[in-house]
Structure 1
Amino acid sequence: MTRTGLSPLAWLADVEKRRRAEGLRRSLRVRPPVGTELDLASNDYLGLSQHPAVLDGGVQALRTWGAGAGGSRLVTGNTELHEEFESALAGFVGAESALVFSSGYTANLGAVTALTGPGALLVSDALTHASIVDACRLSRARVEVTPHLDVAAVERVLATRSEERAVVVTESVFSTDGVLAPLRELHEVCRRFGALLMVDEAHGLGVRGAGGQGLLHEVGLAGTPDVIMTTTLSKALGSQGGAVLGPAAVRAHLIDTARSFIFDTGLAPAAVGAASAALQVLIAQPELATAVLARAAELAQICGIDEVPTSAVVSVILGDPDVSVGAAAACLEGGVRVGCFRPPTVPAGTSRLRLTARASLSDEEMVLARQVLTDVLGAVRS
């Protein structure tokens, strides 16, 4: 059948119309260099993205090593700065080694695909991040998605597997609701059935554990030989990039096989320098991790949430996407920027405001947060 005159992209108009009707249309908003509103939406949990030492670390790396890495890390993109930071980060979280990627997304893609593949079993929590979902799809392993936080379901899958190798993957702190994964229980099941446990600490690093060393460190699993950690440098460390941490043998294997490492330009030196400086600030000020959790508890109380948050994330479920968008817009009009999560980021019927605490929030900023959030949520709930 010929389709002369029909645009191959004509279908996009119908898709956009449907998304608008469902309240799911997204748009980009330009952020000013100096925010005029209170930011309760970013993942800059410790407030380090604007810290003078962090900015200086990025600038010094830029002047020393240039604006870009110049190539993949296997060609020209590997510097002393990269390897020094890897050693420092591994030491901080209690891992044997670390490998830096260009983002947390590519770190998850590289780790999952390189450590599974055909003939392996991959067990993933139903609410893991999109980077893990995509990694599962690319892995060519048999993928089993288990209900959220359901350790018994993971055990049932592992108990009946026929594959020689198995990997269980989860987040330590789930990004949309801030809930903690049952890492000890998952590890016990993995060890019993000879499976590798892979934990994404994107929202745990800098927030959980003594001095922000992460949830794996907090529950006594740091450095365990059958546990792999992935993380991002773009949240608590206020920079950009990602890393995979674990046994030295895993690092060597990823350098040989992880396509998102081999074929990707190395992380820009400025980002490495900034992340390295941020890590040093966190080491020098371990109280930052406690401060962010204290501010999260205050935000939860303001929003009428009885349960004390276990992370920097405060999730206020409103249900309807249009209501959530409207509430976020009203907050912004009042001078407070909050996140608004709708499907497919969250399940249908659970659209929400996602607030993120920051260790650097002042008392004055918390007064503004209370005024605006109380008014907006009061109007929505009335």
Structure 2
Amino acid sequence: MHETEHLLEVRDLKVHFPIEKGIVFKKQIGSIRAVDGVSFSVERGESLGLVGESGCGKSTTIMAVSRLERITSGQVLFEGTDLATLKAEQLVRMRKDFQIIFQDPYSSLDPRMRALDIVSEPMRIFVKKGLLSLDEQTIEQKAVSLLERCGLSSSFAKRYPHEFSGGQRQRIGIARALSLGPKLILADEPVSALDVSIQSQILNLLKDLQQEFNLTFLFIAHDLAVVEYFCNRVAVMYLGNIVETASSRTLYETPLHPYTKALLSAVPIPDPVVGKTRKRMILNGDVPSPSVVRPGCPFAERCPMVMPICTQQKPHLQHVQADHAVACFLYETQGGASV
């Protein structure tokens, strides 16, 4: 493959969870549409941020991409191979190329294992399956080296997770994710559980590692300031759908979708004078239930600019510029190119 081609491409991904009634004879009476037709691509070496309110389907998207969640329909193409069609054995072989950094560093680490063993475990598993050829000494040396590269002294290698701070535990998780030499890192809100002072350290570490190991990131966050700092491209999700995608600079300077504008208007500004004069967009009501089927735009019920067509038809994600696409009838044109 050429270096300019997509490393990851997701096409019309859907993840629906059944709603069942009955104890013995269960009957499906509906479904929760956690992810409902999501499409995006991630270029080699870039960082794509997925943003949106809690419950919009961001984490489910990452779990489905990694095949840790069942895919209802759609394609997940990694270097051209559809992960959704792979059998368990085939999937294991490819897992070394994409790894996850989880949100809660404490619950994602085995409390009975030392830091050295946590980082070594993926390599040992692949050696046992015959997918990697490393001796035990090399495995331990590599694990210690990764811990040191992630900011932890080799003297910490024999410690257990409860002996570390939250930021240090996340560094262990990052070292573990790097142990198999992945190409893609799926980061599920990796700094949201950390103190603000520690967040910047972890983000800077991830940026350095991205350059050093030529990593590609699919990065989830609800903090738009974090996404602006770390990601060079952003996709905004609402109720299982992507409503806008753009480069970080374009999205933050000229947001188009009403939902994106509402999210950005809620971001705190350090300057109190500017903050007082800034116009806020307040959304009415709560996020609707993803179990209700809607014929129109998923944002229509809360949109301050809703039109009659918004409740009748679902807008498609269309390019308005080369690096900017939006799913909104305010910008839909006859000649617009669908994503």
TM-score, normalized by length of structure 1?
Answer: 0.27
Greater per-residue strand proportion: 2
